[in-house]
Structure 1
Amino acid sequence: AELAADRFASDSTPAIVVFHRDGGLTDADRAAAEDFAAWASSDQAPDLVSSVVSPSMVPQDAGLVSPDGSTLTVIVGITGNPADESFTNAVEALRDRTSQIDSADLTVLTGGPAGLIVDFVSVFSQIDSFLLIVTVVLVLVLLILIYRSPVVALVPLFAVGVVFQMSDGVAAWIADVFGLSVNGQATGIMTVVLFGAGTDYTLFVSARFKEELTRVEDKEEAMRRTMAGVGGAVASAGGTILLAAAILLLAELRSYQSLGPVIAIAVALMMLAALTLIPAILTILGRWSYWPFRPRYRPDEPQASEGVVYGHIASFVLARPATVLVATVVLLTALIGGMLMWQPTYDRLESLPSDTESVKAFELLREGFPAGEVAPVEVYVQLPDGEQVTSPQGLETVGRVTEAFGNRDVVADVTSPAYPFGLQGPSAQQLAQQSDGSGGPPPGANSGSISEDGRVARIEVVLGQNPYTSSALDTIPDLRSVADNVANEVGLQPDDILVGGGPAEAYDTREANNRDTLVILPLVLLAIAIVLGLLLRSVVAPIYLAATIVFTYFSTLGLSVLVFNALGQDGVSSSVPFFLFVFLNALGVDYNIYLMSRIREESRHRELRDATSHALASTGGVITSAGLILAGTFSALMTLPLQDLFQLGFAVAAGVVIDTFITRTLIVPSIVALLGRWNWWPANPQPERRRRSDPAAAD
């Protein structure tokens, strides 16, 4: 990629205009295509149009007309930075022109790399504002339904709004200073994580504050007790996300690396707000925070939460923990079975909506042309100093390299400066001799396949199958071996022949993703276990809690695969499993921390089984509410027109629901009950000992 960018710096980005008619193109259709090409070559076309190639401009259509005659292409080169508005305007001008072609049943679409870039830019430009609106509305509705109070529902939204503005600016500054690429996908995910974590932390504080207000009359004392009880849990929950975000910096994929600082900044600021701003607001408002259902000071009355739904659930789980554990494990194991249908996808087109013009254009190309021709493998051959590709020696070298790739069974055809019309067509030298007998470089040999300095040739290797399938990507190492072998045969260094292009980039992405999955995810899990160990002062509890995290993850992945297949989606985006693990565990561990820290707190005053029952009854409603809000915020990603984000949104939302209602509510309490005092090993806290050392507890 670096060699291509360096030596082919002035290259244009091709827009592929596709003309298609079922049953075959007519003479009038071909004439319409040539008329369009003439317009694109004229002064009326956008200034950024640098080149136009149509079937009439090359011998024997030169691969621009499909074998069945149903599809032809006109290639329009567009210069400039694809991120600039002028580039987008140029592509839109082409689309406006093709929309004016009046011919019944003739489909004309503008796609190719230029069209794809413009469509991605269009989608990403809509993500931030749309996602923010959907998330705010969703969170506000859920908070009002949960608290039945508009006041406390607005507190997290206000805090998140302040943090969002700050983190957005800081993230942009860091991206500029450190050269990280922060796109719409990264900021969209940051928005969702910020709202999810922010509402979680606010719920932890506000729910405990409401509980303490029934025990303590003074609101400031109630907040002191609140922060003494949940402050450590909030800090630990935020700390796990910060650690996970920091670990992302160790990833090889830049998309994972760039997300780390963005998430870290947002969560760090949100954690500080949860420990300072939110308690301050709630303290100022006092009992009015929960208007119209203000909590009253009732120190002698039992807590309502102990006698309702989660009190009954706690009694049920603790009465038969082994049965509950086995039943839930069987259920989640069945969901893991969905992994048998696992099929990753590495095709960027799968991410865009099917009705996007560039996607429809590519689909027509795939129907009419060999599968690999739409996205060929690109091989770059760099000749020694002083040698030009168009020289007889240069063409001979490039020709031998071209033939070496053409001999592979997986290759359908190869084009290069030495074989401009493929291996089945005449060579460049034959064409030159036929044209003027000089034996010099053939006319048009430079058409984008030779670098500006003339020393680098670009060879296009067309695979015989869809270039983005797993089996096609598996051929890349073989093609790179061909490059190494032929380099030695023609007297070049291995680094002088490099294999790139879309399929090779997808292969490298797959390998980097596999590496990051094997390295980063265990580190994230280890970081979470360490935080849990420090918080709970136990070796045993972090082990089984980490095990439940992994179990929930694979159950969620299996369920997601089943749903995506049912929806007719072709595979799972390769990044979904990675992001699912990071977000499900970095955010879902909040509930582990909240529940287990409360169990340990209650075990100072009660026997463990009693402490577990009271903790589950007291925190169950909060965890459920927080889980629903977190699932809701991630489900907002499902409203976006990008399949990658739709899948990520569903997977995380489903995982949070499983974690909230099954793992944290049923599995963890049953394990705690079965292990008994071994939960805290090597510590062995006893309620009686705690009462002697804590006068307040003795009261």
Structure 2
Amino acid sequence: MTGAPAPAEGEARRGFMGTLWYGYARVTVALRWFIVVGWVAAAVAATLFLPPMQGTVDDIEALGANDASFEAERRSLELFEFPLLARAAIVQRNPDGLPPLVQAEAVMRGIAVNQGKYETELLGAIPVPNTEGGFPGAAEKNTTVITYVFANPELNFFEQTRAVEDFAAEQLTDASDAYVGVTGSIPARAAQGLVLNSYVHIVEVTTVLAVLTIVALTFGSLAAPAVTLVSVGAAVFVTLGVSGWAGQRMNVAIPADLRPLIVALLLGIVTDYCIFYLSGLRTRLREGHDRLEAARLATASYTPIVTVAGFTVAAGTASLLVAESPLFRGFGPALALTVLTGLVVAVTLVPALLAILGRAAFWPRNLVAEPAKVRERPSLLTRAVARRGSAFVLVLVCVVGLGAAAYQARNLDLGLGFVQSLPETTSAQRAADAAGKGFAPGIVSPTEIVLEAPGIGEKTDEIAQFGEALRAQPGVAGLVGPGELRAADDVGAFTAESGDAVRFLVVLDSTPLESTAIDTLGRVEAALPQLAADANLGEVTTLVAGDTALASGIIADTSNDLLRIGLVALAVNLLLLVIFLRALVAPLYLLASSVLALGATLGLSVLFFQDFLGHDGLTFYVPFAASVLLLSLGSDYNIFAVGHVWQEARNRSMRDALLVATPESTRAITSAGLALAASFGLLAVIPLGPFHELGFLLGVGILIDVFIVRALLVPSLITLVGPVSSWPSGRLQRVRRPRGGRARADS
């Protein structure tokens, strides 16, 4: 298998920039041993002396929640001096029925917690049984008790979860208690962290083995994967150490979900660049150059392309900095730092290793110098993309096919789904499922609605009328309000002591934090003023709080960021393509093809997750993070593929340049793309919803980019547009075909 073409020595050294890059190559090769030892020392030092990258999982605000729902929650606590929203709950359920004594004990236990009769870190509890009168909208009767518990908010998610679990384990010891587990958004986030920690190293090892296998098959070598392993290892250890140090110094919260993505991105891009350098070295060795000169020529040829490609990906990911969401602002610098570290490793350590190893980099294959051979007859596919008629058909088929897939993206729904993203074997997921069967899916994370007005607490009939109207709203499974729960009324949970506020706990009939629940809450919130007016409550202030309200605000903020991030990412990628190709026309259709491929990837994700698997939506941040990465990586491959066509077109006709450059660059890009797709796709091994989605989007997106866009659509577009692609530079218009003669280059 041959790699991407490399210019001859004279080409590499032509002009000022060629001389500059060849000088860089000479220095890198001359310092090869110092560079290798230096990177090994840097990796060891980063591991020993820099703090590890610490992901945050105990702060919902780190996900981007900064809207009115937090203000509503704070105002509610001021009015009632007792929290109503608990993000952790103990679930007891027996589908054959809970004994009345067990239900009564749950109620009394909640009262005792509120009175401080237990030595526990829990500050309060509200037990809710699904009795006939206690919760009329429950799916079952007398089977389930959910006890909302309030842990010390100064504790992190893991500590709060442990406090609730310890209390439940101490109190619910009899089989008749039918204890299922602890659930809620806090235990779910803690469980996500535990699952992530237990799988992250498995995924890293599996991914390394996969990409090394691809490299070994690409070059028929066992030494080439070793070069890749050393390079990737240095990049990973240094990046994780530097990220931890930077996050600590700048007090930046790095999302816990980021480490697997950082490792996958590093593995992918460093492997890509290793494949291109190895391809260049192999070509030079086959041309008969000695070990050091072959390394110099390969380094001089590929370092400019690798550098521009790396900066393109880094700049694209850094575009997330323009977002208002704290989550995306955390993603941006971390991903950009990842790419830049991988780039520095690729342009220094990889050439140094190749200069040391030479032919041994392809062991056990024995590379021998080969005389210049007649160029192989291009494949049928290559000839098809180089002919205008067949190229037009290919463009039409690709655009229609990708466009049809992209059209499905209009149905994309977003949610958070902390609990729903967990494996079914986790306690939080099992408990949530049990609670949903006993009550309704929304019972795990109910919504708090506060009505504030002078003396409203005295209007009992009007409040009851409002509650009945609220309960009758579409999508509302039930609610709890003033006078319905003794344990809650004893602490003034539903009627403020001042009498100027009342509140309800509303349970939706759909899974909380998902798109259906968010839409339902939006309709309910819009109806509140009219419901209050119909109940003759007069002028009241309504406040809405809870996890579903938080999710709604987060997704609204994310959607607002979409246009901002998208425009900046497109502008950055377009600018770098324009600079590299010194053209305006080609970058436009290259970027358009990447956008089309991205749309198709999102559409296929909707078909797979929402239509085929029946999910309520995708995790809110996944489509946006994946989109930025795919756009940037698409420009990365554009630079490799089109850059080689541009080089060949300096001295050939456009058709001949495509016939020469396309097969060779496509083979190298295919190997690199498979390695990158494997690196990202194996994120799906982590049994968490967001990683299944990330693995699918990024893996499928890379494969579409490599096998459809880069292999078919882009070469066909170059054929159709022709030399105009280089406008206004005219770089592709230097070749003219004399009458009756071969194409020749103008001087």
- Does residue 421 of structure 2 align to residue 421 of structure 1? no
Alignment check: 8 A CA contact 1:483 1:499 kept = no
The correspondence of residues 437-516 of structure 1 with structure 2, limited to 5 A, is 444-447=490-493, 459-463=504-508, 466-468=511-513, 470=515, 472-474=517-519, 476=521, 498-516=543-561
Amino acid at match of 1:585: L
State the match for 2:643 in structure 1. Answer: 597
Amino acid at match of 1:50: L
Q: CA deviation at 1:186?
A: 1.4
Relative to structure 1, the CA distance from residue 44 to residue 170 in structure 2 (aligned partners, 3 Å threshold; closer, same or farther) is farther
Secondary structure at the aligned position of 2:425 is classed as: coil
Relative to structure 1, the CA distance from residue 361 to residue 315 in structure 2 (aligned partners, 3 Å threshold; closer, same or farther) is same
- Does residue 366 of structure 2 align to residue 366 of structure 1? no
State the match for 1:386 in structure 2. Answer: none
Instruction: Tell me how far apart the structure 1 counterparts of residues 732 and 617 of structure 2 sit (CA, whole Å).
Output: 52
Alignment check: 8 A CA contact 1:64 1:74 kept = no
State the match for 1:426 in structure 2. Answer: none
State the match for 1:307 in structure 2. Answer: 376
State the match for 1:128 in structure 2. Answer: 200
Relative to structure 1, the CA distance from residue 5 to residue 167 in structure 2 (aligned partners, 3 Å threshold; closer, same or farther) is farther
Instruction: Tell me how far apart the structure 2 counterparts of residues 144 and 465 of structure 1 sit (CA, whole Å).
Output: 49
State the match for 1:214 in structure 2. Answer: 286
- Does residue 262 of structure 2 align to residue 190 of structure 1? yes
User: Equivalent pairs: percent with the same residue?
Assistant: 27
State the match for 1:579 in structure 2. Answer: 625
Relative to structure 1, the CA distance from residue 668 to residue 277 in structure 2 (aligned partners, 3 Å threshold; closer, same or farther) is same
Amino acid at match of 1:70: T
Q: CA deviation at 1:237?
A: 1.4
- Does residue 562 of structure 2 align to residue 517 of structure 1? yes
Secondary structure at the aligned position of 2:257 is classed as: helix
Q: Residue by residue, what CA displacement relative to the aligned partner does 1:188-231 show, whole Å, maximum 9, x if unpaired?
A: 21111111111112212221222122225133333333233222
State the match for 1:544 in structure 2. Answer: 589
Instruction: Tell me how far apart the structure 1 counterparts of residues 347 and 624 of structure 2 sit (CA, whole Å).
Output: 30
Q: Residue by residue, what CA displacement relative to the aligned partner does 1:312-369 show, whole Å, maximum 9, x if unpaired?
A: 5322332432232223334334434554764444433231123322122222222222
Bigger shift: 79-88 or 325-334? 79-88
Q: CA deviation at 1:99?
A: 8.1
Q: CA deviation at 1:64?
A: 12
Relative to structure 1, the CA distance from residue 328 to residue 47 in structure 2 (aligned partners, 3 Å threshold; closer, same or farther) is same
Alignment check: 8 A CA contact 1:414 1:460 kept = yes
Relative to structure 1, the CA distance from residue 605 to residue 296 in structure 2 (aligned partners, 3 Å threshold; closer, same or farther) is farther
- Does residue 425 of structure 2 align to residue 355 of structure 1? yes
Instruction: Tell me how far apart the structure 2 counterparts of residues 687 and 61 of structure 1 sit (CA, whole Å).
Output: 81
Relative to structure 1, the CA distance from residue 42 to residue 93 in structure 2 (aligned partners, 3 Å threshold; closer, same or farther) is farther
Amino acid at match of 1:651: L
Amino acid at match of 1:231: T
- Does residue 139 of structure 2 align to residue 70 of structure 1? no
Relative to structure 1, the CA distance from residue 46 to residue 612 in structure 2 (aligned partners, 3 Å threshold; closer, same or farther) is farther
Bigger shift: 565-574 or 585-594? 565-574
- Does residue 600 of structure 2 align to residue 555 of structure 1? yes
Q: How many residues align?
A: 658
Q: Residue by residue, what CA displacement relative to the aligned partner does 1:509-530 show, whole Å, maximum 9, x if unpaired?
A: 2212222222212321221121
Alignment check: 8 A CA contact 2:447 2:507 kept = yes
Secondary structure at the aligned position of 1:17 is classed as: strand
In the alignment, which of 127, 142, 162 is matched to residue 89 of structure 1?
Answer: 162
- Does residue 358 of structure 2 align to residue 286 of structure 1? yes
Alignment check: 8 A CA contact 2:94 2:144 kept = yes
Q: Residue by residue, what CA displacement relative to the aligned partner does 1:294-315 show, whole Å, maximum 9, x if unpaired?
A: 433335235xxx638x755322
Q: CA deviation at 1:394?
A: 7.6
Q: CA deviation at 1:690?
A: 11
Instruction: Tell me how far apart the structure 2 counterparts of residues 690 and 601 of structure 1 sit (CA, whole Å).
Output: 16
Instruction: Tell me how far apart the structure 1 counterparts of residues 344 and 113 of structure 2 sit (CA, whole Å).
Output: 57
Q: Residue by residue, what CA displacement relative to the aligned partner does 1:603-637 show, whole Å, maximum 9, x if unpaired?
A: 11211111111111221211010010000001111
Instruction: Tell me how far apart the structure 1 counterparts of residues 245 and 468 of structure 2 sit (CA, whole Å).
Output: 48
Instruction: Tell me how far apart the structure 2 counterparts of residues 631 and 221 of structure 1 sit (CA, whole Å).
Output: 33
Instruction: Tell me how far apart the structure 1 counterparts of residues 594 and 400 of structure 2 sit (CA, whole Å).
Output: 16
Q: Residue by residue, what CA displacement relative to the aligned partner does 1:521-566 show, whole Å, maximum 9, x if unpaired?
A: 2321221121111111111101111111111112222222333343
Relative to structure 1, the CA distance from residue 28 to residue 396 in structure 2 (aligned partners, 3 Å threshold; closer, same or farther) is closer
Relative to structure 1, the CA distance from residue 110 to residue 277 in structure 2 (aligned partners, 3 Å threshold; closer, same or farther) is same
- Does residue 234 of structure 2 align to residue 234 of structure 1? no
Amino acid at match of 2:621: S
Q: CA deviation at 1:687?
A: 7.7
Instruction: Tell me how far apart the structure 2 counterparts of residues 135 and 45 of structure 1 sit (CA, whole Å).
Output: 49
State the match for 1:606 in structure 2. Answer: 652
Relative to structure 1, the CA distance from residue 96 to residue 587 in structure 2 (aligned partners, 3 Å threshold; closer, same or farther) is farther
In the alignment, which of 656, 676, 681 is matched to residue 635 of structure 1?
Answer: 681
State the match for 1:202 in structure 2. Answer: 274
In the alignment, which of 178, 185, 189 is matched to residue 117 of structure 1?
Answer: 189
Bigger shift: 565-574 or 264-273? 565-574
Relative to structure 1, the CA distance from residue 539 to residue 443 in structure 2 (aligned partners, 3 Å threshold; closer, same or farther) is closer
Q: CA deviation at 1:89?
A: 3.3
Secondary structure at the aligned position of 1:350 is classed as: coil
Q: CA deviation at 1:5?
A: 5.9
Instruction: Tell me how far apart the structure 1 counterparts of residues 238 and 447 of structure 2 sit (CA, whole Å).
Output: 43
- Does residue 728 of structure 2 align to residue 682 of structure 1? yes
Q: Residue by residue, what CA displacement relative to the aligned partner does 1:391-419 show, whole Å, maximum 9, x if unpaired?
A: x9484599988976865535666556xx2
- Does residue 734 of structure 2 align to residue 664 of structure 1? no
Relative to structure 1, the CA distance from residue 559 to residue 372 in structure 2 (aligned partners, 3 Å threshold; closer, same or farther) is closer
Q: CA deviation at 1:20?
A: 1.9
Q: CA RMSD in A?
A: 4.1
Q: CA deviation at 1:469?
A: 5.2
Relative to structure 1, the CA distance from residue 214 to residue 405 in structure 2 (aligned partners, 3 Å threshold; closer, same or farther) is farther
Alignment check: 8 A CA contact 1:55 1:65 kept = no
Amino acid at match of 1:368: G
Alignment check: 8 A CA contact 2:135 2:478 kept = no
- Does residue 89 of structure 2 align to residue 16 of structure 1? yes
Relative to structure 1, the CA distance from residue 657 to residue 40 in structure 2 (aligned partners, 3 Å threshold; closer, same or farther) is same
Amino acid at match of 2:709: T
Alignment check: 8 A CA contact 1:548 1:663 kept = yes
Instruction: Tell me how far apart the structure 2 counterparts of residues 189 and 156 of structure 1 sit (CA, whole Å).
Output: 19
Secondary structure at the aligned position of 1:72 is classed as: strand
Flag structure 1 segments of 5+ consecutive residues without an equivalent: 384-391, 423-430, 433-441, 692-696
Alignment check: 8 A CA contact 2:577 2:639 kept = yes
- Does residue 669 of structure 2 align to residue 623 of structure 1? yes
- Does residue 532 of structure 2 align to residue 532 of structure 1? no
State the match for 1:673 in structure 2. Answer: 719
State the match for 2:448 in structure 1. Answer: 378
Alignment check: 8 A CA contact 2:93 2:144 kept = yes
TM-score under structure 2 length normalisation: 0.77
State the match for 1:170 in structure 2. Answer: 242
Q: Residue by residue, what CA displacement relative to the aligned partner does 1:664-688 show, whole Å, maximum 9, x if unpaired?
A: 0111111111111111111223586
State the match for 1:650 in structure 2. Answer: 696
Instruction: Tell me how far apart the structure 2 counterparts of residues 610 and 10 of structure 1 sit (CA, whole Å).
Output: 77
